[in-house]
Amino acid sequence: MSKDNYNNLAREILQAVGGINNISSVTHCMTRLRFTLKDSSIPKDDEVKKIEGVLGVVRAGGQYQIIIGQTVPKVYETLLKLGNGKIAGSAPIDENLDANAQKEKMTFKRGFNIVLNKVAGSLTPTIPILITAAMFKMLAAICGPTMLNITPTSSDLYKLFTLVGDAGFYFFPVFLGYTSAKQFKTSPMLGMLMGAILLDPNLVKIVTAGKPFTVYGIPMGLTNYGNTLIPILLSVWIMSYVERFFKKYVPTSLSTVFVPTLTIAVMIPITLCVLGPLGGFLGDYICNGLLAFGKLGGVWSILAIAIIGAVWEILVISGMHLVIISTMTLLFAQGGHDNFATLGAVAASMACAGMALGAALRIKGKKNKTLVWGYFISNIIGGVTEPSLYGLALRYKRPFLGMMIGGFAGALYAGITHVTAYVMVPVANFLALTAYVGGSTANIVNGIISGVIALIVAAVATYIIGFGKEEEIN
């Protein structure tokens, strides 16, 4: 948005709220201008919403709140300039510490939303990294032997595209260490260090070796943290309290050296022995439960396949899917096929692309549409689901439900028609449907239909469910 656009937007808002004389004070949070008005009956909500650049209006806590999006600081500054010193401004509000919000009763729904907002707040700044990495991985997929076969896997160009794409996702815990530290009000540099510790080559060697390892004598779970999300978020959250404790009790003259050192010293066993492996522990129970459910046969097996299709991406995000991956590998190794877990995983991949498609058709704003269409293309062609998952599902929340509905529907059809996968495909794009090649023609057709169902149902469900007025922001 140009300077003139900010001026026009601020001027129209100022006029809509009754002018300078009707404003007692104004401040802003991450996405909203928050006015305290002398006469709150003057602004007409429907007219304010029609102003180009305004995404919504909320009346809460005695404030008149106008939703602008992430450009709100610039609109706020422009508004104050237009007031020529006659508008009383105040420090930006931290929505998580807002006094009005603190008065609200803590419910499961509110607590759940707070968690998702923290996750979304940590993920949103990483979207440029996700998009860039996804584009390079998509180029590698398109130019590689599985599609156009322009660049063989041995070529320097293919290796370059691959390493740039992989770097963006493998080192994701480091990026999240920084962004989540800003969310939890702790040191971004220590957050990055925690992410780097999880990815250190020496730790990777210890995990790969599979031999017992202890941290201060405490047994450490052998977990690979590349591409993970939950471990670093949990670690930085706990670290924010640990660092705060040491800042309070370590003398100022010694704080520069001892606060970061003691913080990391305490966090190492907490992260490597408890928080890091937590996803693995939960995954063992959840995945083994699904596998046991599937072994019941008949309707129960079909239902288990559908549930895997619905929750697969959740398991992947949290790193809980490894047990099912191991089972899939074993089935292919022993019998050369799988008529259970792969069906759900493939449907989930198609549903993820469908979610991006539905969101692209529904979401407001030219910039947002362009971004989400990029998510869809990188998913359906490049097989990269992370931009859709992190940039849509976790950021806006509601699309996650659309994706789960699509994954459930596609996997349910695959289970009902007794589809069998003959290839353990390593990609999550449309080529994942080649998993069903190797059997009868009916098997291939039904496998493709299951993928199409997952994509279309997820797109339609996401489009219908939408984002919520306050969530369709830049």
Closest CA to 66 of 83, 54, 77: 54
474 residues of the chain, pLDDT tens digit each = 556 678 889 899 999 999 888 888 888 887 789 888 888 889 998 889 888 888 788 887 678 999 887 778 888 888 888 887 778 766 565 554 444 444 456 666 667 667 777 887 788 788 889 889 888 988 988 898 878 889 999 999 999 999 999 999 899 999 999 999 988 989 999 999 999 999 999 999 999 999 999 999 999 988 888 877 888 999 999 999 999 999 999 998 999 999 999 999 999 999 999 998 886 677 677 778 888 877 888 899 999 999 999 999 988 877 677 678 877 877 787 788 889 999 999 999 999 999 999 999 999 878 889 989 999 999 999 888 988 998 888 888 899 999 999 999 999 999 999 999 998 877 788 989 999 998 899 999 999 999 999 999 999 999 999 986 544 444
Closest CA to 180 of 380, 172, 433: 172
Three-state SS annotation for the chain:
CCHHHHHHHHHHHHHHCCCHHHEEEEEECCCEEEEEECCCCCCCHHHHHCCCCCCEEEEECCEEEEECCCCHHHHHHHHHHHCCCCCCECCCCCHHHCHHHHCCCCCHHHHHHHHHHHHHHHHHHHHHHHHHHHHHHHHHHHHCCCCCCCCCCCCHHHHHHHHHHHHHHHCHHHHHHHHHHHHCCCCHHHHHHHHHHHHCHHHHHHHHHCCCCEECCEECCCCCCCCCCHHHHHHHHHHHHHHHHHHHHCCHHHHHHHHHHHHHHHHHHHHHHHHHHHHHHHHHHHHHHHHHHHCCCHHHHHHHHHHHHHHHHHHHHHCCCHHHHHHHHHHHHHHCCECCHHHHHHHHHHHHHHHHHHHHHHCCCHHHHHHHHHHHHHHHCCCCCHHHHHHHHHHHCHHHHHHHHHHHHHHHHHHHCCCCECCCCCCCCHHHHHHHCCCCHHHHHHHHHHHHHHHHHHHHHHHHHCCCCCCCCC
d(CA 380, CA 128): 19
Task: Compute the distance between CA of residue 98 and CA of residue 80 in angstroms, rounded to an integer.
Answer: 22
Q: How far apart are alpha carbons 474 and 463 in whole angstroms?
A: 18
